[in-house]
Structure 1
């Protein structure tokens, strides 16, 4: 008997397509009953395609174009009225165009923000997928919060509903004002507004806390320091961290402090007594520097509410396919759980 082609899904059960569309890459897989076929998941470089419909159509065709019952797509950008738009890439798409590429009616295609997908994945990740960053007592029935730090920055609260369902609310909180407190942070904020040419001189959170944000922080230190190395991108900075370069360590420390402060603000906004999950490539890359950068101290530094901040646990999620798992469970909601349709 011939070996099964891992690109071709097994038949006999309701099959859905799930996708996690980031600013740089798109991950695609098949799922059945909420279970993602991770062995056959593929990653595509967005720069190699004209749009998302091309990527999804290619994945589907190369797997033999099996009949699908639905698709669920997580987008690193705002979703409104059934239309998705990437924040850091000029891709626009809707349920009709994606459905046409997959042989599906538009009603069978769900589009949600990528942080919403991460929220739907909580509780379904494999054991060992998360590492504790801040310990605290967790309320199993409490709200949770997902914070994503990668190509961009965003967060989504996960509210429990009766019957084991959940409401995962969208947001675009990466574009609120950066909370600068110290003299250095205020200068960084001014640098972001002035030297990066944002409309109206606006320094958003994502311009400091993301992949390019780490580059902006490093460029600020290069511009205001005694001279030396030119500004670099995040990959170069992380490599310099491994070599012990002082400016890279200063950039990481400033990034981590600001991340702790912003995460603390979001905790007070949403009260996630069920815990906070940090996700994304930049979160994972800088996690070894959380202690030196004072993440916990910055997270809890909220004046008379500093003691209250000890109520919130924080984990680092290290599963790259978590958004696909969330998409699979979101698709189950589209298929029959009315309460999940709210998200």
Structure 2
């Protein structure tokens, strides 16, 4: 494969690589060739309609009728250990042997989805990054933070022997508490899972948890989906607006904590459907202020530039890049 894999236009069945982005709700599959991702080859499948990932990949190959790929890479929204991936929000587990059988590929790789996003950095098309917090742009470590069906982050380091993107499951660390309001929210979300994790607030279901907490605080118990809350927000409902405001501020605070841990002088990049949905209100609800609100370390926080990645193919591009690096 070529040393560079930018997204490409339509390509007729170029299957040197098969790549997949496995989320908590949907799986996207595409073909990658010497010119990058064939955009007309991308197909989306609802996970609930399949018993396992292997069935999705078999279906894709049947529908496209393409030749057997030389390599395949899967990005999974969950932990990966010893080449075996497991979805956090669905009972799917898969590894090299079963994926090789489903795809026919001789080379198979499994990445955490944030690792795939990390491998895509520097190979995304122009305009893929939306600047949300000013900072210094300089060579150095980068950090990818995902807010979607779940929450996670991955540090990205470039060295003399290539790129290293470390996996983590930091969405399950304890939610930070700074104010009395934070403590009440923390105690509320702990009722569902036994302890208050970051993902319990900063994710699709997290917006619903914040809204339900606000409802209980005002004596109006009830739960709504994130889509219902965002629709109510668009209609100007005060409770929905407060739910979005709480989520934006908490995201800023957690992203700031992660920046202090990883020191991403090369940039911090937000990805995921919820991150993109919240972006238009970052300024109004104080994302940057919450991100930089670290007391005497505020000057250090000003070093870190924050962008939102708005390219839907980023994880697929990252998978293709990783296969290219393995073949180099």
Query: Which residue in 2 is equivalent to 1:130?
Result: 129
Query: Which residue in 2 is equivalent to 1:148?
Result: 146
Query: Which residue in 1 is equivalent to 2:112?
Result: 113
Q: TM-score, normalised by structure 1?
A: 0.90
Give the secondary structure class of the aligned counterpart of 1:311: coil
Contact 1:34 1:329 (8 Å CA) reproduced: no
Quick one: distance in 2 between partners of 1:309 and 1:168?
A: 22
Give the secondary structure class of the aligned counterpart of 2:131: strand
Query: Which residue in 1 is equivalent to 2:293?
Result: 301
Give the secondary structure class of the aligned counterpart of 2:132: strand
Quick one: distance in 2 between partners of 1:43 and 1:333?
A: 26
Query: Which residue in 2 is equivalent to 1:57?
Result: 58
Note if 1:191 corresponds to 2:182.
Answer: no
Q: 2:163 aligns with which of 158, 161, 166?
A: 166
Q: 1:331 aligns with which of 313, 323, 328?
A: 323
1:124-163 CA-to-partner distances (Å, cap 9, x unmatched) read 1111111100111111x21110000000000001101126
Quick one: distance in 2 between partners of 1:23 and 1:256?
A: 22
Task: Give the superposed CA RMSD.
Answer: 1.4
Give the secondary structure class of the aligned counterpart of 1:111: strand
Q: 1:178 aligns with which of 172, 175, 195?
A: 175
Q: 2:203 aligns with which of 203, 210, 221?
A: 210
Note if 1:260 corresponds to 2:252.
Answer: yes
Q: Which runs of 5+ in 2 are unaligned?
A: 1-9
Query: Which residue in 1 is equivalent to 2:6?
Result: none
Q: In the TM superposition, what is the alpha-carbon distance from 1:64 to its structure 2 partner?
A: 1.2
How many residues are treated as equivalent by the alignment?
319
Q: TM-score, normalised by structure 2?
A: 0.94
Note if 1:9 corresponds to 2:18.
Answer: no
Q: Which runs of 5+ in 1 are unaligned?
A: 1-5, 337-343
Contact 1:18 1:71 (8 Å CA) reproduced: yes
Quick one: distance in 1 between partners of 2:284 and 2:215?
A: 21
Q: In the TM superposition, what is the alpha-carbon distance from 1:236 to its structure 2 partner?
A: 0.6
Contact 1:273 1:312 (8 Å CA) reproduced: yes
Q: In the TM superposition, what is the alpha-carbon distance from 1:7 to its structure 2 partner?
A: 8.9
Contact 1:131 1:315 (8 Å CA) reproduced: yes
1:95-130 CA-to-partner distances (Å, cap 9, x unmatched) read 11111011134xx11000000000001111111111
Quick one: distance in 2 between partners of 1:320 and 1:218?
A: 27
Quick one: distance in 1 between partners of 2:199 and 2:105?
A: 35
Contact 1:98 1:109 (8 Å CA) reproduced: yes
Query: Which residue in 2 is equivalent to 1:75?
Result: 76
